[in-house]
Amino acid sequence: MNDQDWLVEQFEAHRNHLQRVAYRMLGSVSEADDAVQESWIRLSRTHSSEVENMGGWLTTIVSRVCLDMLRTRKSRREELTLERMPEPAHSRQDESDPEYEALLADSVGLAMLMVLGNLNPSERIAFVLHDIFALSFSEIAPIIGRNDAAARQLASRARRRVQGAKATADSEAFNRQKELVEAFLAASRTGDFEKLLAVLDPDIVLRQDPAFPPVAAWPIVQGAEAVAKGFAGRAQGARPVLVNGSVGVVVAPRGQMLFVLELKIVGGKIAEIEMIADPVRIRQLDLAELKN
C-alpha cells in the first residue's frame, strides 16, 4: 500500500468523528462537509511520516478549519437570515448515508446549536472540544492561539451560556412553569381547545412578529378564545427551551427555524406570548436547552 492509499484509509476511518466535530462547531451539515473536505485536502498534502497520531492530528486540523470559517462569518458581519440559522442534522436529505446516520446519532438539539451560535469563535471551539469531545486544554490552546488558562476560561464562559441558570431550573416555581408550557404545547398539538383555554389567562395578549408573513396582518391577538383558536393543532415542530432564563418555546418544524415564543406566566396561567421571528432578534436572545 502506497502512502496515498494509506492516507485515504486513515481518513475514512476518522471521517464520521470529523463530521461530528465540525457539525457541533458550525451548526450546519453542509458547512461541516466543507470543513471535512478541506481537512482531507490538507492531509493529502502531508507526508504520512509527519503524522504520529492520526486521530489527534485530524481533529486539530478540522478544528482550525472550523475556527477560520467561524471567524470569516464574524468578520463579514453578514446580515442574519433564516438560512443562517443552525441546520439540524435531521434536515439532511440523504438519510441512507452512513455518515449522516452517525451524525444524527450524535447530533445536538436546535436550542444548543442556537446557543453555540451566540458564542464567539474561540469560545465555541474551546467548549466543543473540551466539554463534548474531552480534549485537554493543553491540546485546545494551540488550536485557538491561546494559553491553557485562557482556553479554560473561554470554555467555562461558554459552559455558563449553554447550561443556563441551574438554580432557576431546579426551583419548584420553574418546574410548575415547565409543566404549564408542556401542557400548552400538548393541547396545541392535539387541537384540544378546552385544555388550551385551561392554561391561558382569559385576558391573554399574543404579540405576533410581522417578520413572520403568515401572521403579519394580525400583530396583536387578545383573549383566550382567539389565542386558543390560533394555536389549536399548530404546535408541530415546537419544543420548550429556556428563553432569557424562563421557559419558552422554539418552533422549528422539520428543522426549519420559524420563530421563538417568549411567555409571561401570571397566577399559573400564560398571560402574554411574544412571537419573535426576526432572525436578528432571535440571535439576541439568551437561549439554552431545557434539561429534563
Asked if the model's pLDDT at residue 159 lies above 60, the reply is yes
Q: Of 161, 176, 195, which residue constitutes the final position of a domain?
A: 161
What is the value of pTM for the model shown? 0.56
| Tally of CB atoms within 10 A around 179 | 13
Asked if the model's pLDDT at residue 264 lies above 70, the reply is yes
> Are residues 251 and 194 part of one domain?
yes
Report the CATH number at residue 39.
1.10.1740
Q: Of 79, 103, 127, which residue constitutes the final position of a domain?
A: 103
pLDDT given at position 194: 95
pLDDT tens, 54-85? 899 999 999 999 999 988 876 554 433 333 44
Closest CA to 73 of 116, 109, 128: 116
pLDDT given at position 242: 81
Dihedral of alpha carbons 118, 121, 124, 126, sign: negative
Pull the grid cell for residue 20. 461530528
Within-domain flag for 66: yes
Number of domains in the chain: 3
Which range is most confident: 46-50, 110-114, 180-184, 258-262?
A: 180-184
pLDDT given at position 171: 67
Within-domain flag for 108: no
> Are residues 194 and 281 part of one domain?
yes
- C-alpha distances (whole Å) from 183 to each of 194, 198, 217, 239, 282 are 12, 9, 28, 11, 24
Q: What is the DSSP string of 123-183?
A: HHHHHIIIIIT---HHHHHHHHT--HHHHHHHHHHHHHHHH--HHHHTSHHHHHHHHHHHH
pLDDT tens, 191-218? 999 999 999 999 999 998 888 887 766 7
> Are residues 272 and 174 part of one domain?
yes
Strand (E) or helix (H) holding 221: strand 220-222
Containing structural domain, residue 134: 119-161
